[in-house]
Chain A
């Protein structure tokens, strides 16, 4: 399994340009997530999806859009890039939480290698 893959690895955009960050997973995970990591900060959740056709906003969704037409793919779209969107973007995926013997089994998130985006 390749796990979670992201493209591109690096990108420089001009203000106002648009682009799509790609994310694919081959683990048949229902849940997928997009995070951004600013320098010296933890990860902030942008959007997440609990299955194909279902997406929801995270903590910092403004300026981004997502779609989930297949289980495997969860692209993140920036329509009008702004300098404030300069960051490292991580995609992650997981199974949903599930129970076994009355006990919740954790839904470990697996992360991609990240996309470093600079907006000038």
Chain B
């Protein structure tokens, strides 16, 4: 079955770049997503990448996809204290009626 793995915690100084990593197992995944969850809130879609792309940039966010290694990363440039949250990677395998498989989430702590 599908499995999505992430490291649980990342601490970064304000102004530095953050890189959050994710590995997945289903090679038929069509789309891969990054969601952000702030304390006490629901999930907010940050960005997504189609499986035939290897990079997508959106303002401070850069998503890199290595399809051969089934590795996805999210880079946040100039990390701010407001970026402190849990970041979830999710995949949508082909033909699964939009069902997403989520990773366990990476808690990003931004220090001054």
Contact between B98 and A45, CB atoms less than 8 A apart: no
Within 8 A of B (CB), among A70-94: 90, 92, 94
Shortest Cβ distance from residue B109 to the other chain A in the assembled complex, whole angstroms: 15
Q: With contacts A40-B8, A109-B45 known, is A97 near B105, CB below 8 A?
A: no
Taking the complex as formed, is A107 at the interface, i.e. its CB lies under 8 A from any CB of chain B?
A: yes
Query: Which of these, A4, A41, A94, A112, contacts B98 with CB under 8 Å?
Result: A94
Taking the complex as formed, is A63 at the interface, i.e. its CB lies under 8 A from any CB of chain B?
A: no
Contact between A43 and B88, CB atoms less than 8 A apart: yes
Shortest Cβ distance from residue A47 to the other chain B in the assembled complex, whole angstroms: 11
Shortest Cβ distance from residue B7 to the other chain A in the assembled complex, whole angstroms: 12
Contact between B45 and A50, CB atoms less than 8 A apart: no
Q: With contacts A43-B88, A113-B41 known, is A48 near B97, CB below 8 A?
A: yes
Contact between A107 and B98, CB atoms less than 8 A apart: yes
Chain A's interface: helix, strand, loop or mixed, by majority? strand
Taking the complex as formed, is A108 at the interface, i.e. its CB lies under 8 A from any CB of chain B?
A: yes
Contact between A45 and B88, CB atoms less than 8 A apart: no
B103 surroundings in chain A (CB, below 8 A)? 42
Taking the complex as formed, is A110 at the interface, i.e. its CB lies under 8 A from any CB of chain B?
A: yes
Contact between B98 and A42, CB atoms less than 8 A apart: no
B42 surroundings in chain A (CB, below 8 A)? 4, 90, 111-114
Shortest Cβ distance from residue A89 to the other chain B in the assembled complex, whole angstroms: 10
B40 surroundings in chain A (CB, below 8 A)? 114
